[in-house]
Structure 1
Amino acid sequence: MLKTTLTILFIFGFIYFGFSQQVSGKVLTKSNEPIPFATIQIGPNYGVITNEEGNFSIETQGFTASDSVYISCLGYEKIGLLLQEFSSKEYKLSDQVNELHEVYLTNKPLTIDSIMLYVNKNLKRNYKSDLVSYDIFSRRTEYIIGKDANFEIDKSTGFKKKQLEAFNKDLDGLEKSLLTNKSKQYTEFVGSINIKNEEDSKLEVDKAIRLLDERNNQSVEMLTDKAKDIVLKHLDKDKIYTVKSGLFTMSDSVSLNEDRSKVEDTFNSLKFIRNMVHKMVNDYAFSSKTILNFITDTKKYEYAIKDITFIGNEMVYVISYAPRRSSADFEGTFYVSNETFAILRADYKFAKGRIGEKFNLKFLLGVKYIEQNKNGFVIYNRNEDGYYYPNYMTDQLERYFYVDRPIKFKDNNSSEKVSFDFKVEGIFKEKNEILVMGEKNITASEYAATTEKRKIDYETLKAFDPEYWKDYNVLEPLKEMKDFKVID
């Protein structure tokens, strides 16, 4: 009897715990093309999506051998299997066979104007942006492509020849680091964004890492620090200087002997990250300032029904759009449910000739700034409460910058002065991705009870660690991130 009981317990333990592992794989088309943003789901509310290369990893702990796994993507046939059959390998999806497509088209489908009317009429019914808490995984990728750089002493008094050579050598090193650096930096965290309304939110971070080579960090703050360090190294710290740039006096009493802390890394501060995440959620939840104006500002855009596909038995319109007026910014495609008229998926990019914010005083002040090549993507999941919530969001942007300014340091107590030629040109690239691992509605009192730390405590890694997020269902990294390693 004891032996039989132990045998049953062993078998049950194998069935239940034998699948407590991470499964990694790739989703492909029948022609071996990767399928990005396909969904791998276990049960109704648990799953991940593939990355841009079609790869995924999912933790199966807590599920049994008889649980079902579904792999699906818009435009492809869904496949289902038992968890005991689910292993680390490639999975191929067949194109959706649209048997009703021809019949439907001949039976006078809804016009595009009617579809867009119903989409906007149902936005408040389909999407909720206030008093929601999202469990999220966030990844930020950023780097600078230097196009031109010239930091050189133009005129100076009070410097000996060797001092000038040493000064210019350090400035040459700064130029080289900008123009030759190819390293990217990655920032990731798991946490919760608690949203009260369009204006107020709180971010709770559970775990966070940065992958960066601090020697090659090309953030705006780090470049500023490096330039400042060079100035402090070579100028007399016991003197008081007047600093002038171009036509303007920046300061007439600068002491280089003060204890100055490094410039705050604003791009990784909690406030900056919280505002970035909140803005993305607001944009994709159709707030009053949504970036998805190609849905809400229908007079600015032209639309066309590009195709009809299915998710299970649900018919979906595939709609393309492009600017009708000069005030429209984007072009792309989105998918609309025929049942609820909800947007299920959407992509956008700047249309030809379109740019974002710009600042061009190149000839007057030697400064130019342009936002360009913006693009993004969002997938929605329908929750049990009937609302659609963002499941995956990404946004990419390039910021072109140009600065050409002379900078002068003049000793207030003598005629000694140093003049720099400061010229730098490049493109700052950033990509933000957010994977929603769960969402729930909260009350105003629950929001008030949440707390937010003053900063994010990052752990800085010198190489990619595939085990770091093993207990979380996060977005599988791209190959370039997996290859990240700081060489000493």
Structure 2
Amino acid sequence: MLSKLKFQTLFTACFLLLTFSNFGQTVTGKILDTKNEPIPFATIQIGEDYGVISNDEGNFNMRVSGFQSTDSVYISCMGYEKLGFQVQEFESKEYVLNDHVNELSEVYVTDRKLEIDSILYYVKTHASKNYRLDQTALKMFGRRTEYVDGKSADFEIEKSSNFKKNQLDAFNKDFDELEQSLLNNESKQYTDMVSTLYIKDSENAKLKVEKAVKLLDETNEQSLEKMTDKGNDIVLKHLDKSKVYTVKSGWFTVSDSVSLDNRSDKVSDSINAVRFVREAAFNMVKEVNPITEEPELDFITDTRKYDYELKGLTFLDTEMVYIIDFKPRRGSANYQGTMYVSNQTFAVLRADYAFYPGRVGEKINLRLILGIKFIENNKAGSVAYKKNSDGYYYPYYIKSESDRYFYINRPIKFIENDNSRNKTAFNFKVEGTFKERTEILMLDVNSVNSAGFEAIQEGKTMDFEKIKKYDASIWQDYNVLEPLQEMKDFKVED
């Protein structure tokens, strides 16, 4: 197969005469500033609705088949001068954007002389005109990266009236291996997916999955579901599967009749359930939509909870944009960051946010009663909005990163129903942090009416294509997010 460089050299003479519609081509490049630093979230676009966005490392990957050689390509980003050229000049290389520097005083050359309170007032009152959620079909590419940072683990048989010493040693040996797997493993899991989220209203949505791919080392998968599954497998390995047990955990009877020989694969079903993925995607879209009842990004409309400062002006193409920093005024506010507001429509075009020091998200602390503790102790993200042909702004790119601390310390006891003197008790203790990063790139936005929504048939489970190393050709028919270098380097050893 010819490399891209050889391919381009071979056909340079024909490039000006032919259109791209006769063959497929992918352009891979990097967006930099004048200091040679990567620019994330830069938009690379052909036409009105076709484009991609650069990743955190400034890299992008874009299909250009189907376009005329004289079609226009534009590269733009908030705060930088727009770069334009023709498709025939679009090649795999580095592209440099110049800073677009403007002082705050330039606000006076416009027809609006606004203070920060007025800007925020218009942001809030224009929200229903600028954003929409219901009767919308969002085709999206999503990528999820997750792994566990294990802090401590201790799984041990405390007593057993059934096991001999060599059996107990074998049991604890298996638990020791599980502990070391959790503490020493640094393997990450990547999930890529193209799907369409059909939204009827704020409560109802359906998801149709077009393609889903997992890149993971299954032997080292560290999700809570898999850790639980591995623990169950160890228990099953050493207990008599022909018996029926009563299971107790702490003060509670979990079940009065558990047959170890007839387990359903509920863990696998939950991981692969379309419902699970749909809820996650729908929640991310609602979190960043200012007109939902309780948006996660409350700094856009709930201005009483935050302090704001107008830091200056910049431009997105020819549109003047206010740069506004925010931080909590009240204890109920969680975020600090920067948002960028259009001077024309007062829509928030982009927001970068993170938990303010000392703030936490969802939490459960039942450590003393149930031996369980869960805290979302770090969350950060970015969202970029783009105006669609219907006049509304939709999230074009969403990124969310979170750290969730967990602590589980549970004694579990298996008691044979036929002979209550036969008991096996062990302790399950694990502590660590789940680290997750989710990105969504909108590929297309359309409307869907009630009849169209009802006609959508959502599947129950989905089949993932599992790969052992990243392969860009898998997504050659789509414009997707260029992976970070760590994902490109990931490889499962045979």
TM-score by length of structure 1 reads 0.94
* Alignment partner, residue 346 of structure 1: 351
Aligned residues of 2:21 and 2:66 also touching (Cα < 8 A): yes
Structure 2 unaligned segments of length 5 or more: list them: 1-13
Q: Which amino acid aligns with 2:372?
A: V
Worse-superposed segment, 357-366 or 40-49: 357-366
Q: Are 1:486 and 2:492 matched, yes or no?
A: yes
Query: What does 1:259-274 align with in structure 2 at a 5 Å threshold?
Result: 259-261=263-265, 263-274=267-278
Aligned residues of 1:397 and 1:430 also touching (Cα < 8 A): yes
Counterpart CA distance in 1 for 2:398 and 2:113 is 31
Deviation at 1:261? 3.1
Deviation at 1:134? 1.1
Q: 1:193 to 1:391 in 2, by over 3 A?
A: same
Q: Secondary structure at the match of 2:473?
A: coil
Deviation at 1:257? 3.0
Worse-superposed segment, 151-160 or 165-174: 151-160
* Alignment partner, residue 5 of structure 1: none
Deviations 1:226-274 (A, max 9, x none): 1111111111223333322222222333332335435235244210111
Q: 1:414 to 1:442 in 2, by over 3 A?
A: closer
Query: What does 1:85-96 align with in structure 2 at a 5 Å threshold?
Result: 85-96=89-100
Counterpart CA distance in 1 for 2:95 and 2:256 is 67
* Alignment partner, residue 7 of structure 1: none
Counterpart CA distance in 1 for 2:337 and 2:198 is 30
Counterpart CA distance in 1 for 2:165 and 2:237 is 16
Deviations 1:365-395 (A, max 9, x none): 2211111211111101111221111100111
Q: Secondary structure at the match of 1:226?
A: helix
Q: 1:319 to 1:410 in 2, by over 3 A?
A: same
Q: 1:165 to 1:62 in 2, by over 3 A?
A: same
Deviations 1:404-423 (A, max 9, x none): 12222233315222221211
Counterpart CA distance in 1 for 2:82 and 2:308 is 28
Aligned residues of 1:152 and 1:420 also touching (Cα < 8 A): yes
Q: Are 1:437 and 2:437 matched, yes or no?
A: no
* Alignment partner, residue 477 of structure 1: 483
* Alignment partner, residue 431 of structure 2: 425
Q: Select which of 254, 259, 264 maps to 1:255.
A: 259
Query: What does 1:38-437 align with in structure 2 at a 5 Å threshold?
Result: 38-98=42-102, 101-104=104-107, 109-261=113-265, 263-286=267-290, 287-412=292-417, 413-437=419-443
* Alignment partner, residue 6 of structure 1: none
Counterpart CA distance in 2 for 1:82 and 1:18 is 18
Counterpart CA distance in 2 for 1:414 and 1:360 is 33
Task: State the Cα RMSD in Å.
Answer: 1.8
Counterpart CA distance in 2 for 1:360 and 1:15 is 62
Q: 1:271 to 1:262 in 2, by over 3 A?
A: closer
Deviation at 1:40? 0.4
Q: Which amino acid aligns with 1:447?
A: F
Deviation at 1:17? 4.3
Q: Secondary structure at the match of 2:141?
A: strand
Q: Which amino acid aligns with 2:332?
A: S
Q: Secondary structure at the match of 2:179?
A: helix
Counterpart CA distance in 1 for 2:157 and 2:142 is 43
Q: Secondary structure at the match of 1:140?
A: strand
Counterpart CA distance in 2 for 1:264 and 1:463 is 22
Counterpart CA distance in 1 for 2:389 and 2:262 is 59
Deviation at 1:449? 2.0
Deviation at 1:20? 3.6
Counterpart CA distance in 2 for 1:317 and 1:268 is 43
Aligned residues of 1:19 and 1:63 also touching (Cα < 8 A): no
Worse-superposed segment, 333-342 or 402-411: 402-411
Aligned residues of 2:19 and 2:67 also touching (Cα < 8 A): no
Deviation at 1:205? 1.1
Q: Which amino acid aligns with 1:332?
A: G
Q: Are 1:455 and 2:461 matched, yes or no?
A: yes
Q: Which amino acid aligns with 1:254?
A: V
Deviation at 1:481? 0.8
TM-score by length of structure 2 reads 0.93
Structure 1 unaligned segments of length 5 or more: list them: 1-9
